[in-house]
Chain A
Amino acid sequence: MPSAKVRDQHVQSFKEFVSNLDVSNAVKMAENTKKEGISATEFIDKVVIPIVEDILAEYRKGESGLPGPVISMYIAHQIVDLFRDQLPPFKGKVVIGTTGTFHDLGKNLVKEMLYLHNYDLYDIHSNAEPEDFVKKALEVDADIIACNCMALSARPNTAVIVEKMKEAGVRNRIKYMVGGAVMTPEWAREIGADGYGDTMMDAAVLADRFMRELKKGE
């Protein structure tokens, strides 16, 4: 069993590789750390998520550009796959997509953030119609629908999703979150969404809250 000191050194190196956006060395260091017996929970919850959050915070403050969040999430995805054999079952199923335009960069990052928080993602990509969200949710028996919207002209689509959920009789069974450049908490309330996320972290917090609420309602 390697010493805690060696493991700490590996963790420190891993953090530095992620900060430097050095994908291959970061993944190699995670592999080494796993071999030394670190648990999935310890590594993902106490190392990967905090460093991703730090990078996102820097980005939001305008201290770094988009490559930081994108590459750190790309690394995080590989770490989750690496530790998949040790992870508990997925917390829930999320159907995610962008409606109205093809701008789905933010949606992709939210998707990765939810994957990092152990959600099973079903991506219906960009330019998705309201009915696509509900159809996919029914098909995979989803717990959550997450809709990204980047154009004001497409914003009504986010309200239509609620209507489609009602029509399909799943409004009480599936939670609905919205986010994206033209979304606001007020709009989310107005259309009857269950939550609005301003950031990727918000999406993960909302998803966890939704799952707790769904379990209570069972």
Chain B
Amino acid sequence: MGGMNAVERVKTALQLGAPDRVPMSFAIWPMERLSTNEHYALQWDAEKLARKAISIFQYNDYQSDEAALSYLNLAMVEAWGGKIDYSKWWPGVMEWLIKEPEDYGKLWILNPYKDGRLPILVKQMELVSKTVKENMFVWGQEFSPFTLLFHIREATKAVIDMVINPNLVKMALETITESTIKFLHALKEVGANGFRLNSQRWDRVFFSKEYIKQFDVPYVSKILKEAKRLGLLTKMFVELPNPHLDLMLELSDLNCFEFLDTAPRVHTNELPKKWKWEDLNEEDLKAVREKLKGRLCLGMPAAGRPIMEKGTPEEVEMAVKKWLRLIGPGGGLTLETYSGAGGAWGSKENALKAINTVYKYGKYPIDIH
């Protein structure tokens, strides 16, 4: 199969097929700089935001197959009146929106055309989609409701609420979910190809399955179902190792499981605990691939962080070829540079080497020895 544009390529992979080659993207990480220290001043300017996003996902002659907008953007929290500090590398909550359990009732279903900066983000999506057309698969994204909960209520108190006032927490999660659904409707209307839910590892590895089933899965399912009904493809970003992969496999409206890193020490972990800040372990990756086979597309870095950060371009090429050989055949795979060309982590040289290696060796059928 040849001559696919980026949207066709990514769609084919997300639907578990083999496109002309493995989709290769400049990851999401560069976008964090749009929501944090470097570019937070652009937050109110949709045109500048769109231009910046496009410039990040296009680098000289290179073009990312996917673009994910608004990463690490707490626009929904701000729209409810939350105060976020974007002046540092990672956005910080300056003042918790929910100070007492009764404050959960103060949330309302957000209007993406009116509340806070949400209209700016919708406009950004419109401008990016119009510009890149079929040359880039554009994801709208938001944190999962369970993850957002920990941006409006101090974590320890949120956990206490889950035990003591579960219905109040569920009421808030319902409002967050409905707001997210309104947001994804607006993004779809202006050209988004897919919707990506970002669920942070800290929230997931800390909780037993019972809690995830009660406080996370129902709301994620509702969002994914609505996205699918609208014709959007779906992706969830959850770090590995993760004890709840089985629950993800039960999400019938999910197309792709994406991870960008190995996680540091975790204690409730079904995968080997030797996974620290090491490169991806071959055996573990094969196990995850096997588990997801025929069910979910796998989205992941073309090489692990240590190699992208500290390796030579030759080592990057070897690492990318290794993953392609191991998990590339058959399709259902999207790859990303770790940091993007010129991104925060890893050198530009290494990012470009990873991209070129996928372009050269990631053509289907993949045949690497």
Given A21-B163, A60-B267, A74-B160, decide whether A150 and B88 contact each other with a Cβ distance below 8 A. Answer: no
User: Could you say which interface size class chain A belongs to?
Assistant: 20 to 34
| List of B residues within 8 angstroms of A62 by Cβ | 243, 267-269
Q: Is the CB of A181 within 8 A of B264?
A: yes
B283 at the interface (CB under 8 A from A): no
Is the CB–CB distance between B269 and A182 below 8 Å? no
In the complex, residue of chain B having the shortest beta-carbon distance to the beta carbon of A111: B156
The verdict on B133 contacting chain A, using a C-beta distance below 8 Å, is no
Say yes or no: B202 contacts A65, CB within 8 Å: no
B159 lies within 8 A of A67 (CB): yes
Chain A residues within an 8 Å CB radius of B210: 65
For residue A105, CB closer than 8 A to chain B, the reply is yes
Cβ A154 vs Cβ B164 within 8 A:
no
What are the interface flags for B147-162 relative to A under an 8 Å C-beta threshold, 1 for contact and 0 otherwise? 0000100111001101
Interface hits, B142-180 → A, CB 8 Å: 151, 154-156, 159-160, 162-164
CA distance A60 to B88 in the complex (A): 32
A68 to chain B, nearest CB (A): 9
Which B residue's beta carbon lies closest to that of A150?
A: B202
Q: For B344, what are the chain A residues with a Cβ–Cβ distance below 8 Å?
A: 153
Contacts of A109 in B (CB 8 A): 156
Given known A-B contacts A23-B164, A67-B159, A70-B160, A103 and B93 have beta carbons under 8 A apart:
no
Are B264 and A66 in contact, CB atoms less than 8 angstroms apart? Answer: no
A59 to B207 alpha-carbon distance, docked (Å): 10
Q: Give which listed residue, A21, A60, A65, contacts B208 with CB less than 8 A.
A: A65
Instruction: Write the A106-122 contact mask toward B (1 if CB under 8 angstroms, else 0).
Output: 00110000000000000
Task: Say yes or no: B85 contacts A65, CB within 8 Å.
Answer: no
Q: Does B359 contact A (CB under 8 A)?
A: no
- B40 at interface by CB-CB < 8 Å: no
With both beta carbons as reference points, the residue of chain A lying nearest to B264 in the complex is identified as A181
For B206, give the chain A residue with the smallest CB separation: A66
> Does B62 sit at the interface, judged by CB under 8 A?
no
Give chain B's interface residues, CB within 8 Å of chain A: 85, 88-93, 151, 154-156, 159-160, 162-164, 202, 206-208, 210-211, 243, 263-265, 267-269, 277, 344-345
Q: Which 6 A-B pairs have the closest CB atoms?
A: A65-B208, A127-B92, A105-B155, A66-B206, A62-B268, A181-B264
